[in-house]
Amino acid sequence: MLTHRNTCILFAVLIAALVVLNINYKIHWLWFVPVIVLFLSIEFYGAYFVHSGFHIKTICKADTTDKLVALTFDDGPMPERTNSILNLLSKFNVKATFFCIGSRIKGNESILKQIHEQGHLIGNHSYSHSNLFDLKNTSHMLSDLQEGSKEIKRVIGKEPLFFRPPYGVTTPGLARAVKKLGFHTIGWNVRSLDTSIKDKQQLVERVTKRIQPGSVLLFHDTVDNLEFALEEILNYLNKNGYRVIELNKLIQKEAYA
Ligand SMILES: [Zn+2]
């Protein structure tokens, strides 16, 4: 499997070989360019495609043929939006996982408690969810993630083990922080694109045609009127014999320390 480590080893060998060829046979220095471009392209792919598992071993779906799926919601808690999603989930009697942003918890403790008390799971989605998060060093990321977990524990009394990288971007620094904290990194295999698709019917079609046994679905409990599309998706799952179960049961990992 292509990982950051074996890519670095492979390209170090290639560069060393080119240096030897350059010294002994005077090959043109331009030979280095495609090798470096290829290296950077692979690194970029690994950082931006969470399912690649390039930097961090990431769980994006369960390996099952049973019609079981899990729902996940990122970026809350958000007043009204999260509550509205919770009401819909309760109407369908299904449980989901909420990857919360630590800095949004202060002042919204009652929402977090409600999520927990209704039997949903809460995961860490960093404290800051900063645009610059991926440019920070390991110790900065580590303290940001610890701060996020601290906020969740302050309210529900449990320390999360499920972690979803902000923007789904992974880096070597984040890999070190995640390893130290013992997190299970959670991706998705059905991305709803609910933050950009405005047409709810299009959103429903996009999601339902990608659902398969073991799917992990990604939504955001910050999107206006998401419940209209979500209701149709939940109806589709019911009609097609799918069952929504808790993420910890789907992937068979502990959600809390
Ligand atoms: Zn996010």
Q: How far is CA 256 from the centre of its chain?
A: 17
Distance 74 CA to ligand 1 centre (A): 5
What was the pLDDT predicted at 50?
A: 86
Distances (CA, A) of 40 to 43, 93, 96, 138: 5, 46, 37, 21
Residue with tokens 């509205």: 84
Distance 75 CA to ligand 1 centre (A): 5
Tell me how far apart the alpha carbons of residues 92 and 238 are, in angstroms, rounded to a whole number. Answer: 9
Tell me how far apart the alpha carbons of residues 197 and 202 are, in angstroms, rounded to a whole number. Answer: 7
SS3 (DSSP) at 105: coil
Catalytic residues: 74, 220
What was the pLDDT predicted at 44?
A: 87
Cβ-proximal residues to 178 (8 Å cutoff; 6+ apart), any chain: 56, 145, 163, 185
Distance 18 CA to ligand 1 centre (A): 41
State the pTM of this model. Answer: 0.91
What was the pLDDT predicted at 46?
A: 86
Tell me how far apart the alpha carbons of residues 141 and 127 are, in angstroms, rounded to a whole number. Answer: 9
What was the pLDDT predicted at 83?
A: 97
Distance 125 CA to ligand 1 centre (A): 7
Distance 217 CA to ligand 1 centre (A): 14
Ranges of the chain with pLDDT below 50: none
Q: What is the pLDDT of residues 211-244, one digit of tens each?
A: 999 999 999 999 998 999 999 999 999 999 999 9
Enumerate residues with CB within 5 Å of ligand 1 (an ion). 74-75
What was the pLDDT predicted at 243?
A: 98
What was the pLDDT predicted at 1?
A: 76
SS3 (DSSP) at 44: helix
What was the pLDDT predicted at 209?
A: 97
Burial per residue of 145-164, b for 16 or more beta-carbon CB atoms within 10 angstroms, e otherwise: bbebbebbeebbeeebbbbb
Domains in the chain, CATH or no CATH each = 4-48 (no CATH), 58-251 (3.20.20.370)
What was the pLDDT predicted at 156?
A: 98
Distances (CA, A) of 143 to 111, 196, 199: 24, 31, 39
